[in-house]
Amino acid sequence: MAGFRTGHMKGFTIVELVVVIVLIGTLSAIGVGLFASRTTFSPLLATQQLASATLLAQQAALAGNPAGTLRVEQAANEFRFIVGVVGTSESRTFSLPREGASLSGVSLPLNIDFNELGAPAAGSNYTLTFTGDSTFQLCLSSLGAVYTGSCRS
């Protein structure tokens, strides 16, 4: 056989392919189990949604917009974060299913007005704690900083 060269074949064996498929199947089964229950992530999602709504209200206050207020409510089956004056066409409502999570640390409903510097007009810190299968805290400091964790004195 002139001109025919024997060399190394390139590719994967059937055993290697089967092992990869089994590994992917195992990892996906574990991953689905982690994300199947939203109650585990509901406090985290609520914390992030509240931080976003707070920043939106602060930006409105910095711009001199009357929508520089935030209202935090906990209904029977959802959290509501309302940016702007409740009941007006300029207000924006963000809601998130509670799914077993709850909010503590402040009396509800909580109304926060922001001054022209983006800080709470009352001049106080707010630590909001969302609990469920896990616990997450959000601090709104008297200077207007929003961060995860409890407020420092």
CB 51 within 8 A of CB 89: no
Q: Is the pLDDT of residue 112 over 90?
A: yes
Q: How many structural domains does the chain have?
A: 1
What are the tens digits of pLDDT across the range 82-100? 998 888 888 889 998 888 8
Q: Is the pLDDT of residue 133 over 60?
A: yes
106, part of any domain: yes
CB 46 within 8 A of CB 147: no
CB 101 within 8 A of CB 129: no
What are the tens digits of pLDDT across the range 35-85? 555 555 678 888 999 999 999 999 988 888 878 899 999 999 999 999 988
Report strand pairing: 126-131 vs 102-104.
Answer: antiparallel
Both tokens of 140, joined, read 């709104």
89, part of any domain: yes
C-alpha–C-alpha distance, residues 46 and 103, integer Å: 9
Residue 82, domain extent: 39-148
CB 65 within 8 A of CB 83: no
CATH (domain of 142):
3.55.40.10
114, part of any domain: yes
C-alpha–C-alpha distance, residues 31 and 44, integer Å: 18
61, part of any domain: yes
24, part of any domain: no
What pLDDT does residue 41 have? 60
